[in-house]
Amino acid sequence: MADPITPKKLPAEAMERLNGANLNLCLTCGTCSGGCPITGTPGMEGWDTRKTLRMLAMGLIDEVVDSKFPWLCTGCGRCAAACPMGLDMPAIFGYMKHLRPRDKVPGVVHKGCQNNLDTGNNMAIPKDDYLITMADMGKEQDEDEWPGFYVPVDKQDADIFFFPNSKEVYGDFEDMLWWWKIFYAARENWTIPSENWEAVDWGLFTGNYEATRIFAQRKMDMMRKFNIKRMIMPDCGGGSYGCRNGMKMCSLDDPNNTVDWIYLYDYLKDIIEQGRIKLDKSVHAGKKFTWHDSCKHGRELQSHFGHGFFEEPRWIINQCVDDFVDMEPNSMNSFCCGAGGGMWPMPYEDESAYHGRKKYESIINSGADVVVVACSNCHDQIMKRYPKYYECNYEVKYLWELVADCLVIDPYTEEEIEKGRAEAAAQWERLGVDLDDLM
C-alpha cells in the first residue's frame, strides 16, 4: 500500500502566482486529462493533467518542477478550453518551466533563448553571414525569377516589418522565398531588420518571462526607429503568441508602449480582397487540400486574446484551390500536432510523435493530398517527424507557400526594375556587402 501524501505549504511567490489560477476550483473531473496529448504517453505512466494539478494543490511543487511533465506539455490549450471551471493549465505548466533552474532546462531551448538575448537570433548566426545570405538570395531571384527584386533591410518608412525564422536563415533557405514572392507580386513596401531579427520566441518555450518581454520590446523599438507602419506578427505559433504576450507585458508597464501590427492571415486576406495579388487555382488542380489548425494561432489566441484564426485561413485556401476538406475534429476541438511548447526542438522525439498520433489520424481520415499549415514547428513536425513513426503519403505546405505557388505576377516595368536594382546597390553598399563578390 502506498504511503499517504502529506500536503506541503507552497513558497510565497508560488502561492501568489497559483492563487491567480485558483487550483481549489478544480473539480477533479478529468476533462483536462481526457483531451491532453500527454495522457497515455509511454514512459509517463501515472502522470496526467488532473493528477499534476492535484499535486500542486497539495504543495508538491518541487516534484512537478523536477518532472518531465511541464516540458511534455505542448501548450495546446485543449485542457483549458474544455475545463468547466476555466483553469488555464498551459499557463500553470509554463510557470513550472519558469521555476526550473536554467542549467536544467532540457535540450537546446534555453541555449537558443540565450543566443537570442545575446546575438538577436536563436542560432547565433553572425550579422555578416545573415546579410550576405539575404543579399545573395535576393540577387539570385532578381536575375532568375523576379527582376528588380531585393531583400530590403532597415528600410526607413516601410509599410510592413517582417521577421525571418533562424532555421530558414541557417539552412531552409527556400522557405524564405514564399513570403518574398508575395511581397514582390503585391509590390509591397516592406523590410526586415539587420539586428534582433529572430521571429521565434523560445522564451515562451522555456518559461523565461523576461526574455519574452525583451524580444517584444526590441521589435517595437525597431519599428519606431525606422518609422514602420505595421509589423506582421511572426508566423510561428510560438513567435506570434509569444510576441503578443511580450507586448502585453510591455503595455502593462506603459499603456503607450504599443505599435501597430497585423496577423499573417489578415494581411494575406487583405491583399487578396484588395486585388493586390492575383491567384490561379488551376495550378492546384487534381489535389485535395486540408488545413491544420495551429493551437497557438487558433485555440490559445481565442482563449487569451478573444480571436482565434479559424475562418480566415480557410477562406485564403479556398481562393487558391477548388478541392478543400476539413479534418475532424477541427477549429477549437482540433488535435495538437505534438510540436508545440518547444516539443519540436526538445529531446523528446518519441513523446512528441506520440502526442501527434490523433492529428495524424485526422490527416489520414481526411483523404487530403496536401496538409496546409501556418507554423514552422507544425510544418516540420508533420512533414519530417511523422514519417519516422507513421505511414505518410501527403505533402505539407505553408499557407503562404500555397498562395505563392498560384500567384499570377504582373511584370514589373523597366522603371520599376531599375529602381529596385538601384535601391539594392545603395543598400548593400551602406551595409558593407559587395554584390560583385556574391556567387
Identify the pLDDT of residue 18.
77
CB atoms within 10 A of CB 171: 10
- The set of cell numbers assigned to 410 is 504582373
In whole numbers, what is the pLDDT of the chain averaged over residues?
A: 94
CB atoms within 10 A of CB 190: 22
- The set of cell numbers assigned to 406 is 498560384
pLDDT beyond 90 at 3: no
Per residue in 42-72, pLDDT (tens digit) is 999 999 999 999 999 899 999 999 999 999 9
Identify the pLDDT of residue 35.
87
Per residue in 370-402, pLDDT (tens digit) is 999 999 999 999 999 999 999 999 999 999 999
Q: Which residues pair with 231 in a beta bridge?
A: 161, 261
**CA 421, CA 209: separation in Å to the nearest integer?**
42
Identify the pLDDT of residue 11.
80
- The set of cell numbers assigned to 57 is 494543490
* Residue 75 or residue 7, greater confidence: 75
pLDDT beyond 90 at 23: no
Identify the pLDDT of residue 14.
81
Rg of the chain, C-alpha, whole Å: 23
Q: What value does the mean pLDDT take over residues 126-137? A: 96
DSSP line for 240-264: HHHHHHHHHHHHHH-TT----EE-H
Least confident residue range of 29-43, 115-129, 176-190, 217-231:
29-43
**CA 88, CA 23: separation in Å to the nearest integer?**
10
Q: Are 251 and 258 in contact (CB under 8 A)?
A: yes
pLDDT beyond 80 at 15: no
**CA 226, CA 248: separation in Å to the nearest integer?**
22
Identify the pLDDT of residue 48.
95
Dihedral Cα 304, 306, 311, 313, nearest 10 deg: -50
10 confidence band (pLDDT: 50, 70, 90): confident
Identify the pLDDT of residue 143.
95
Per residue in 328-371, pLDDT (tens digit) is 999 999 999 999 999 999 999 999 999 999 999 999 999 999 99
Q: Are 249 and 216 in contact (CB under 8 A)?
A: yes
> CA dist 120 to 87, 215, 217, 273, Å?
35, 9, 12, 35
